Structure 1
Amino acid sequence: MSLSVTTSHASLAGPRERNEDFVGMVTPTDPELSTKGLMAAVADGVSGNEGGREASEYTVRGLLADYYATPDTWEISTALERVVSAINSWVLSQGAARREMAGMATTLTALVLRGRMYYTAHVGDSRCYLLRNGTLQRLTQDHVWERPEMRHVLTRAIGLDSRIAIDHGMGEMQVGDLFLLASDGVWAALSEYDITALLSDVARGQQPAQDAAQALCERALAAGSQDNASAIVLRVDQVPQGDLRDLLSQERHLHVPPRLKPGQMIDHYLVEEVIHVSPASLLYRVRDTHGGRQLVLKTITPERADDPQECSAFTHEEWLAKRVVARFFPQVITPQQKSYLYYLTTWHAGSTLQQLLDAGIHFTVPEAIAHGTQLVRAIGALHRRSIIHRDIKPANTHVGDDKQLRVLDMGVAQSGLKAESANATQQAAMAGTPSFLAPEQFEAKAASRQTDLYAAGVTLYYLLTRRYPYGEIEPFQHPRFGTPVPPTRYRPDIPWWLENVLLKAVARDPADRFETAEEFLLALERGASRPLAAPAPTPLVRRDPVSLWRTVAIVSLVLNLLLLYLIAVR
């Protein structure tokens, strides 16, 4: 699903001989729509000569062309700032070099719609409005003198000063939003009540969206406007799934909250309990004072607040958590007001599998199979969304009082949509808990769907035996993997078919494991009715090639020494 917007534009000279306004739009298709977005701009030239029209036209044309030539890695506000600053320098130089263009300047109001976010860049007294749910909001402030008799005199404009200060704004879009870009020839002649009424007709379908801009300009002139009248109207018909870059832009300006104690408030959420503390993150159980609902609030620790990589990683975690809409995961709740860097998820009473194990709970074979089935289903849901969890373990597997298993903590998860730097590949492979990492990850190979399934196999093995198939692995240890210990050695009541499933899931060689979550799930569901064959013994050349060749070398050396001895005796 991509962004879909209905647009209309109009620019009428009115009673003036020249139209010094200029409007423009670029409505690209993918991939530019996803990387750069849709852009619309209105400019109102300021001059009594040809300079006003030339300034407004060059500014809009230059912005629409040069913005799409900026690097995709630039933030939208950065790209707009750089392009507008360059245009400002050109307009200044033209006004100084050409006598007939002296004093040329222009206002500019630009709007970019990308992903689920809108961005504004503004200088002068043209305006941008947003109509949402019948309420009109002005998104820009006029740069004019405050005195009533000086309200028509600009304090900021393109071409007015060598240093230009641009106002930037941003927010999240909703389906049905109506944006209006208008010159002062429109908004000065029409009250906000009149603008709201006409845009509301568009929102209700009583006025064609394609004719809205023309209707606004004609009404402004009919109401007595003596200026050029220009407008662009954009109606948001469809918004895509949240974009990571937009979320990074949105949350880059948020501060990390201080450590909170029960009884304190953050926005309108009352902290009831500190759930978890780690060097990197904090989890609180909070209550929404508006609705009374209990939620989980997650943020990073204040000590990591100055680390831009940590903040970006946290935002990436939030973005991934929003994408996994399924019963196997806590669901992200979007707050109406957000003053700090955090995100909210649903709260579910219950315990993690690790907490249950620590409490001495003994899991029967049917219980373990039931939990394993839900866990593999959850992993399958992640993989279908191109997400690798990378830290599947009992501590991240929660069983609610409603008997629903949920996978927690997307802190080190990776998405196929997120580019990983080459320098971080080795460190990324080792993310997670050592005893649940697949053997190939200790060789600096990247995490994959099969490493998640391996961790699920170790989790189920541990749930039944409280031991690991290759023994416990300490941090920074580089283990040597041989043959996994059959779980029946620790627990004889495990059926042989389940042992075969577990041994296949935790096989040393990825080629011997389950390829997909669906294959793993099918083996658990079929059980004894269609059991897997017992894994074949791993040949020594694959199990421990170093030891094999060391033995061959020793035998060869002994034989050679023996031959030398026999030759010497003769």
Structure 2
Amino acid sequence: MALEAGARLGGYTVTGLLGAGGMGEVYRARDERLGRDVAIKVIAQALASESKELARFEREARALAALSHPNILGIFDFGEQDGVHFAVMELLGGTTLRERLSGGPLPWRTAVAIATAIAMGAAAAHARGIVHRDLKPENIFLLADGGVKVLDFGLARRDPAPGAAAAPEEETLIGTAIYMAPEQILRKPADARTDVFALGVVLFEMLAGRGPFTRSGIGDTIGAILTEDPPEIAPPGGTVPPALERIVHHCLAKDPEERLQSAYDLVFALGEVTALPPGAARAPAWPVRIAIFLAGALVGAAAAALFFLLR
């Protein structure tokens, strides 16, 4: 049941509905104590009665609460009131990377800047032992001021110890097929290198306008991920430096041991590519600032949480 404007959840007053999906609703609200606008994600009551879905909702809240980084969506509060389970998050203005890609591939320097910001956010999560496991354009938010945020840690889990057996949850396929690493498909434990693979897929898609392993059906897509080498990027009407293509292919290695071993490694590798002479490729048409030193509240007309409710 949707909350009406004026409804109170803890110290927050709902001011309007931003969107709804299968997981629940996202509202714009006012933090009465601190005098700021926030986004409140409310899990659907039907799902709140299911222990697995409620556990996922709580896991995301705890994962975000453990992280504080300019490239990760921030969470302010989490609670339950009269059977309503909710999380209070940053209110962001901008668009998802998926929406941005609907206009076609990006200039390579723009793609590298976005990928670097994603990798920095992922590296911060990995440093706390948290693996995202579902990095994809729908879960990347491009802020109106040029910043980049990683969203939706609902599938995140703690990095397993070396040699650890798969957790019971990994007996089922976790993630989004076209961005899954081979070890996810094979239901092996995921670690930071699993996110590096997904980052490689996202970077490939930003450069080429298509995924490296996307096929007409899920079965064919999974088969391609497990057995086929990624094609050349060859973006329409543009060029990609050979060094950048090598980095992408390095991320997409089937064996985790053969990939870049951390998101930090990817940040450093991409930094070397951006040191190429400006004449090596066309300047980006869309300004992106890697948000390392950003501070303060980011306020806009839409909540980033809306987009991972509607996945």
The yes-or-no answer on 1:303 pairing with 2:43 is no
Q: Which amino acid aligns with 2:250?
A: K
Counting aligned pairs with the same residue, the percent is: 25
| Aligned partner (choices 499, 507, 511) of residue 253 of structure 2 | 507
Residue 66 of structure 1 corresponds to which residue in structure 2? none
- Give CA deviations for 1:366-418 in whole Å, capped at 9, x if unaligned: 11111111111111101000000001011101111221111001111102489
Cα distance in 2 between the residues matched to 1:336 and 1:283: 15
Q: How does 1:56-95 map to 2 (within 5 A)?
A: none
The yes-or-no answer on 1:482 pairing with 2:211 is no
Cα distance in 2 between the residues matched to 1:302 and 1:469: 38
Retained in 1: the 8 A contact 2:23–2:44?
yes
Residue 271 of structure 2 corresponds to which residue in structure 1? 525
TM-score of the pair, normalised by structure 2 = 0.77
Q: What secondary structure, in the 3-state scheme, does the structure 2 residue paired with 1:287 have?
A: strand
- Give CA deviations for 1:146-183 in whole Å, capped at 9, x if unaligned: xxxxxxxxxxxxxxxxxxxxxxxxxxxxxxxxxxxxxx
Cα distance in 2 between the residues matched to 1:452 and 1:276: 28
Q: What secondary structure, in the 3-state scheme, does the structure 2 residue paired with 1:487 have?
A: coil
The yes-or-no answer on 1:383 pairing with 2:126 is yes
The yes-or-no answer on 1:426 pairing with 2:171 is yes
Retained in 2: the 8 A contact 1:398–1:405?
yes
Retained in 1: the 8 A contact 2:234–2:240?
yes
Q: Which amino acid aligns with 1:468?
A: G
Cα distance in 1 between the residues matched to 2:174 and 2:250: 23
Residue 315 of structure 1 corresponds to which residue in structure 2? 58
| Aligned partner (choices 80, 90, 111) of residue 368 of structure 1 | 111
Cα distance in 2 between the residues matched to 1:387 and 1:517: 12
Report the alpha carbon displacement of residue 522 of structure 1 after superposing the two structures with TM: 1.2
Residue 300 of structure 2 corresponds to which residue in structure 1? none
Cα distance in 2 between the residues matched to 1:302 and 1:355: 29
Report the alpha carbon displacement of residue 264 of structure 1 after superposing the two structures with TM: 4.9
Residue 19 of structure 2 corresponds to which residue in structure 1? 275
The yes-or-no answer on 1:294 pairing with 2:40 is no
Cα distance in 1 between the residues matched to 2:34 and 2:69: 23
- Give CA deviations for 1:284-337 in whole Å, capped at 9, x if unaligned: 222335554221111211221221222222112111110011111122213799
| Aligned partner (choices 326, 331, 346) of residue 90 of structure 2 | 346
Q: Which amino acid aligns with 1:311?
A: L
Residues 503, 350 of structure 1: alpha-carbon distance in 2 compared, 3 angstrom cutoff: same
Q: Which amino acid aligns with 2:147?
A: Q
Q: What secondary structure, in the 3-state scheme, does the structure 1 residue paired with 2:234 have?
A: helix
The yes-or-no answer on 1:259 pairing with 2:26 is no
Cα distance in 1 between the residues matched to 2:248 and 2:185: 21
Residues 529, 492 of structure 1: alpha-carbon distance in 2 compared, 3 angstrom cutoff: same
Q: What secondary structure, in the 3-state scheme, does the structure 2 residue paired with 1:488 have?
A: coil
Q: How does 1:12-27 map to 2 (within 5 A)?
A: none
Cα distance in 2 between the residues matched to 1:390 and 1:444: 12
Residue 289 of structure 2 corresponds to which residue in structure 1? none
Q: What secondary structure, in the 3-state scheme, does the structure 2 residue paired with 1:493 have?
A: coil
Retained in 2: the 8 A contact 1:372–1:460?
yes
Cα distance in 2 between the residues matched to 1:386 and 1:335: 21
Cα distance in 2 between the residues matched to 1:473 and 1:381: 35
Q: What secondary structure, in the 3-state scheme, does the structure 2 residue paired with 1:375 have?
A: helix
Number of aligned pairs?
A: 268
Cα distance in 1 between the residues matched to 2:177 and 2:93: 28
- Superposed CA RMSD: 2.7
Residue 80 of structure 1 corresponds to which residue in structure 2? none
Residue 458 of structure 1 corresponds to which residue in structure 2? 201
Cα distance in 1 between the residues matched to 2:42 and 2:104: 31
Q: Which amino acid aligns with 1:412?
A: L
Q: Which amino acid aligns with 2:233?
A: P
The yes-or-no answer on 1:394 pairing with 2:151 is no
Q: What secondary structure, in the 3-state scheme, does the structure 2 residue paired with 1:341 have?
A: strand
Cα distance in 2 between the residues matched to 1:394 and 1:384: 22
Retained in 2: the 8 A contact 1:270–1:289?
no
Residues 505, 491 of structure 1: alpha-carbon distance in 2 compared, 3 angstrom cutoff: farther
Report the alpha carbon displacement of residue 269 of structure 1 after superposing the two structures with TM: 1.8
Residue 175 of structure 1 corresponds to which residue in structure 2? none
Give 5+ residue unaligned stretches, structure 1. Answer: 1-257, 531-570
Residues 365, 266 of structure 1: alpha-carbon distance in 2 compared, 3 angstrom cutoff: same
Cα distance in 1 between the residues matched to 2:199 and 2:254: 14
Q: Bigger CA drift: 499-508 or 453-462? A: 499-508
Residues 513, 286 of structure 1: alpha-carbon distance in 2 compared, 3 angstrom cutoff: same
TM-score of the pair, normalised by structure 1 = 0.44
Cα distance in 1 between the residues matched to 2:31 and 2:165: 36
Q: Which has the higher contact order (CA 8 A, sep 6+)?
A: 2
Q: What secondary structure, in the 3-state scheme, does the structure 1 residue paired with 2:153 have?
A: coil
Retained in 2: the 8 A contact 1:330–1:347?
no
Report the alpha carbon displacement of residue 260 of structure 1 after superposing the two structures with TM: 3.0
Cα distance in 2 between the residues matched to 1:526 and 1:423: 40
Residue 468 of structure 1 corresponds to which residue in structure 2? 211
Retained in 2: the 8 A contact 1:473–1:479?
no
Q: What secondary structure, in the 3-state scheme, does the structure 1 residue paired with 2:210 have?
A: coil
Report the alpha carbon displacement of residue 492 of structure 1 after superposing the two structures with TM: 4.6
Give 5+ residue unaligned stretches, structure 2. Answer: 277-311
- Give CA deviations for 1:60-92 in whole Å, capped at 9, x if unaligned: xxxxxxxxxxxxxxxxxxxxxxxxxxxxxxxxx
Cα distance in 2 between the residues matched to 1:378 and 1:473: 31
Report the alpha carbon displacement of residue 280 of structure 1 after superposing the two structures with TM: 2.6
Report the alpha carbon displacement of residue 476 of structure 1 after superposing the two structures with TM: 5.7
Residue 493 of structure 1 corresponds to which residue in structure 2? 239
Residue 440 of structure 1 corresponds to which residue in structure 2? 183
Retained in 2: the 8 A contact 1:482–1:508?
no
Cα distance in 1 between the residues matched to 2:252 and 2:78: 41
Residues 305, 336 of structure 1: alpha-carbon distance in 2 compared, 3 angstrom cutoff: closer
CA radius of gyration, larger in? 1
Retained in 1: the 8 A contact 2:92–2:143?
yes
Cα distance in 2 between the residues matched to 1:420 and 1:283: 36
